[in-house]
Amino acid sequence: MNRKRPGTGPLTVTVFVFPGVRLLDVTGPIEVFASANEFGGHYQVQIASEDGAEVVTSAGTRLSADLSLSEVREPSDVLVVPGGPEWETLIKDEALLDVVRQLNEKARCTASVCTGAFLLAAAGLLNGRRAATHWRHSRQLALRFPSVQVEPDAIFVRDGKMMTSAGVSAGIDLSLALVEEHYGAEVARAVAKDMVVFMQRPGGQSQFSVHSRAPHTRQEMLRRILDAVAENPGANHTLTAMARTAGVSVRHVTRLFCEEVGTTPARYVEQVRLEAAQVLLETGDDAMPVVARRTGFGSPESLRRAFVRRLGVTPGAFRASFRTTGVSTNDAVSEAISA
């Protein structure tokens, strides 16, 4: 089914590039739209830089631009704003932000990839809106731009004409969603199979954000508790045991966690245990009962419930998805893709 507006020409996708842009943030979406053209889509993709000159990406690769800002006269159906590792510098570049604002005015839909969300936020385009970015930077986005409602676990978010996506490859997920919106699920599915990617990947960003750092705190008693949990997640870490470790009351421990960590003791312990389980599943061959016991969950069922609730995938699916690229199981992968 073709959902493109009848009687119109190709849908124009303008990808904005700038010095230091991340290469895959640019090429991932372009590949999706170009591939869609092979399966019934009709996209015209153009790369625009501020002055029409080529740019050097963060990887050192040179990218040529098709046109400059002044040459973007017709409205774009989709504007793609990629990110870059030097986003802290980019959001202070008023000239660059002004280009983003001008391009957004001429776009029916504006979509960012990874830290491109910081450019949109700094340009004032995400005020009062929901947004996503790479899990590693979601806290910074929320702190720097409190008017933006950050959804840290989302792969991509749409709020009105604005779309924002998580890190790097999530730009492919976002672009596939746009292809489905424009030309239907069959075309998007064909593109996903052609690129050998999920049409809709299982789970959210939480499954990627393992090894999170322990919270910083000046409270020595709380530091002792946090260290004890990190050093041995499978030990007894009930509220009573924590209070005993710190030499304070249960009530005081609860208050410290609320003020210093921003969560309850039980939720913090579960998060640390979950990360420990992820490491074991990624790197070892232990059976699920062993993983559950070593990480303090007790039983495989408790482990499974925690994974599904916090990450959106089962422990088995996590192990299968993140332990290997599948190079040794080509037959199974080929069958799954062609199904």
As annotated, the active-site residues are 114
Q: CA-CA distances (angstroms) from residue 30 to 14, 45, 47, 57?
A: 10, 7, 9, 15
Degrees to nearest 5, angle at CA 237 with 232 and 238? 175
Listed in sequence order, the residues at least 6 apart from 73 whose beta carbon sits closer than 8 Å to its beta carbon are none
Listed in sequence order, the residues at least 6 apart from 86 whose beta carbon sits closer than 8 Å to its beta carbon are 20, 58
Contact 105, 120 (CB under 8 A): no
Cα–chain-centroid distance for residue 12? 25
Contact 75, 43 (CB under 8 A): no
CA–CA dist 306, 297 (Å, integer): 9
Contact 143, 110 (CB under 8 A): no
Q: Strand, helix or coil at 185?
A: helix
